[in-house]
Structure 1
Amino acid sequence: MTLRSLSNLDFARLGADAVAYLRPVVMNGALAFSIHAADGTPIGAAPNADLAAAAIRQHDMEPMLVH
Structure 2
Amino acid sequence: MLLKEAHALLTPSQLAHIGAGEVAYVRKMRSEEVSRCFPEAPVIDPQLDLWALFGADGTPILLTDNRSSTFFKAAEDDLKTISVH
* AA matched with 1:6: L
CA distance in 2, matches of 1:65, 1:12: 18
Aligned to 1:47: 65
Aligned to 1:19: 23
Please list every run of at least 4 consecutive aligned residues from structure 1 whose deviation after the TM superposition is greater than 3 angstroms. none
Q: Percent identity?
A: 27
* AA matched with 1:26: R
TM-score (norm 2): 0.64
Q: In proportion to residue count, which structure has more strand?
A: 1
TM-score (norm 1): 0.78
* Residues 1:31 and 1:57: Cα distance change in structure 2 (over 3 Å): same
Question: What is the number of equivalent residue pairs in this alignment?
Answer: 66
